[in-house]
Structure 1
Amino acid sequence: MSVFRSRPALRWLVPAAAAVVVIGGGAAAGTIAASADPALPERSAAQLLVDVQTAKIDGLSGTVVQTADLGLPSLPGITGGAGSNADLMKLVAGSNTARVWYAGDDKVRLAVLGTLGETDVIRNGTDMWVWRSTENSATHIKIPADAKRQERKTLAGAVPATPQEAADAALAAIDPTTAVTTTGAAKVAGRDAYELVLTPRDTASLVGQVRLAIDAEKHIPLGVDVYAKDANNPALRIAFQQVSFETPDAEQFTFNPPPGAKVTTPDRSSSAKPGAPHRADKADKSDKSAPEGTKVVGKGWTSVLVAKTSTAKTDTRNAEGTQQLEAITGALPKVSGTWGSGRLLQSALFSALLTDDGRVLVGAVAPEKLYEVAGQ
């Protein structure tokens, strides 16, 4: 039995099904030898994928740095426009630093360091804490003891927080439309690593290639670089600046709110309607499907997400956010076609179309692809 079939999911990178497609779906990974440094034994792309799947570590700690230069225009509150938020701006045109500790799936801590403070997510057994120092507030979440998986919330919107998350997103797109190769060995955080290169075969994608640095000894991703088409420098980089594979002390995962902190404990039962029976089969299906009013057109690197914007009236609590969104939208150029009219946001890696009839289309594609989907 193939190692990809014997394990239900890649521990660190991608679902096993995606890896199977890489090996058997025309990517020719098994015939490409890694051009490794003489100090490292040669590894093919297929062997590197197997290495990643079977990787197992007891713990790690380190510093992760994320840098971005997405080539976005000046936008109010984001990219240097009026009232820009410094931390938000760094997500798309700057640098962010985070500290991470890991001692098992139920002992994880991530600390994102901001301009004026930090935000921590701490998972310790069935306890999860989200701490925001700038607000002196904490949210305490109890995780069911029988829960098989607990997905960690992304702190910085859609930007991955660690190399593992970035690799998840990159390798999830692997299918026969992806060329998988290797390149020379790399040094990340002072450690030897192999480079696995993913290149979209579909030239309609704005992504030129994704490079994954895989630790030569531990086989987990140390860094991910995402390049726009025809670019010499990465538009997005997430990599360990420093890493240790010693298991962190238990105290790293113990959190006690400081004096005066506002502590919130969500009521898990409030989300369920009284008297409504639980249908596990429906719940399972809904978890896998897109939210209502949302669909994905196409697949792989050139898929386009189509969603409907809310038409509900905004209350005073959300007035500030609504005003900022309207300011951002108003700063975007107007576009129109047989599909209708709207506003367009372009960057080096993605395009977004906000139509006047209340739709949002986003994809790692040129605007013309969005217009095509909008007209369908």
Structure 2
Amino acid sequence: MSVFRSRPAMRWLVPSAAAVVVIGGGATAGTIVASADSSLPERSAAQLLVDVQNAKVDGLSGTIVESADLGLGAIANLTQGKGDLTSLLGGSNTARVWYAGETKARLALIGTQGETDVIRNGSDVYVWKSTDKTANHFVIPAEAAAKHQELQSAGTTTPQDAADAALAAITPDTDVSTTGAAKVAGRDAYELVLSPKDSSSLIGQVRLAIDAEKHIPLRVDVYAKNATKPAVRVAFQQISFTVPDAEQFVFKAPPGTKVTENKATDVQRDAAKQQAAAERQKLSAADKPTIAGKGWTTVVSAKLPKSDSTSSAEAKQAEGLVGMLPAVSGSWGKGHLFAGTLFSVLVTDDGRVFAGAVTPEKLYEAAA
């Protein structure tokens, strides 16, 4: 399960002395100590970072609630209640998780209109969708089993996944501090706070509530700048560290479900076809997406595909949506701007697009 995968990029966090040098602009451990309540011993930010890095449990089950308010308005409303991955764009979503070792994991994303389950049991992986009553069965080849990351193909988000992304962004441009103790899903936790120093970032803080005993993140909150409530929250509502029963990982197709068997050779053949198609449609160097900046203020830019009379209805609809965005202009030219809670997107009239968790001014700078 991705909650417990190795994070090689974070090895610099160990030992804790190395973390102290990086975090807080070189602050000493004594200046950023978690002033927990009397029931918990004090814990420095450096120690908490190492705790998260080394966290490991044999099993767990629980309910995760994800909520997001990204300023998408009606776009987010279209995705609600579907019980698939698009519903993560806005509103509130619930998922159940079970984990019993590296080869036994299950996630159920639950919506008002349906449910999507991803189940791994040994070399067998099932993806079931209630909305269309279908299930796909994959068998992980023996040679690939060691490299397979459970639930990764589903793009699921757990508190640990969100914490990994936040911790990977730690640089000398990040303030790291603690706010003391917290209670999440009935468990004691320490709260670690990551804050970008660069004023160009739209992210104000990332707060991680770390289980005091098991050291895994129980809750991750992402705050927009100057906000008093999180724009994104991923949190366990209920959690148990008892190893789930083996029956939880046995897929039983509900009546009327069409199960498609996908052989390893079929998957490999499809992958080869997709790779060949990608090779035929390779972008020129000038058309490839580029990345400017790093960490909290990274800006991704690319050229939009040229439209013509044969453009699809979806492409034309997208063009219509862009035209509805506020018009902006500058030394870089003219275009339209989407300013969300945590990210901005600039689409220029000459066919370029710039996006990042940054202020519009940062996008204008990149466009120029």
TM-score (norm 2): 0.83
Equivalent residue in structure 2 for 1:302, among 277, 291, 297: 297
* SS of residue paired to 1:146: helix
Q: d(CA) in 2 for partners of 1:315 and 1:99?
A: 44
Say if 1:14 and 1:313 are closer, same or farther in 2 by CA, change over 3 A.
Answer: farther
The letter of the residue matching 1:143 is: I
2:68–2:91 Cα contact (<8 Å) kept: yes
- Give 1:154 shift: 6.4
Coordinate RMSD, CA, aligned: 2.9
> Which residue number corresponds to residue 358 of structure 1?
351
2:178–2:191 Cα contact (<8 Å) kept: yes
- Give 1:350 shift: 0.9
Q: d(CA) in 2 for partners of 1:106 and 1:100?
A: 14
Q: d(CA) in 1 for partners of 2:241 and 2:307?
A: 49
Q: d(CA) in 2 for partners of 1:313 and 1:19?
A: 51
Equivalent residue in structure 2 for 1:130, among 127, 134, 142: 127
Equivalent residue in structure 1 for 2:141, among 140, 144, 161: 144
Equivalent residue in structure 2 for 1:19, among 7, 13, 16: 13
5+ residue gaps, structure 1, are: 1-8, 277-289
The structure whose residues are more often helix, as a share, is 2
Q: d(CA) in 1 for partners of 2:76 and 2:307?
A: 28
Instruction: Summarize the alignment of residues 250-265 of structure 1 with structure 2, pairs less than 5 Å apart.
Output: 250-264=246-260, 265=262
Between 142-151 and 176-185, report the one with greater CA deviation. Answer: 142-151
Q: d(CA) in 2 for partners of 1:122 and 1:374?
A: 44
Instruction: Summarize the alignment of residues 173-252 of structure 1 with structure 2, pairs less than 5 Å apart.
Output: 173-252=169-248
Equivalent residue in structure 1 for 2:328, among 305, 323, 335: 335
1:224–1:237 Cα contact (<8 Å) kept: yes
Q: d(CA) in 1 for partners of 2:147 and 2:348?
A: 37
* SS of residue paired to 1:109: strand
1:30 matched to 2:29? The reply is yes
5+ residue gaps, structure 2, are: 277-284
Say if 1:122 and 1:170 are closer, same or farther in 2 by CA, change over 3 A.
Answer: same
Q: d(CA) in 1 for partners of 2:248 and 2:350?
A: 49
Q: d(CA) in 1 for partners of 2:154 and 2:334?
A: 33
1:189–1:240 Cα contact (<8 Å) kept: yes
Q: How many pairs were matched up?
A: 341
- Give 1:267 shift: 2.5
* SS of residue paired to 1:116: coil
> Which residue number corresponds to residue 286 of structure 1?
none
> Which residue number corresponds to residue 365 of structure 2?
372
* SS of residue paired to 1:272: helix
2:224–2:231 Cα contact (<8 Å) kept: yes
The letter of the residue matching 2:148 is: Q
Instruction: Summarize the alignment of residues 249-288 of structure 1 with structure 2, pairs less than 5 Å apart.
Output: 249-264=245-260, 265=262, 267-272=267-272
Q: d(CA) in 2 for partners of 1:154 and 1:373?
A: 32
Q: d(CA) in 2 for partners of 1:60 and 1:115?
A: 25
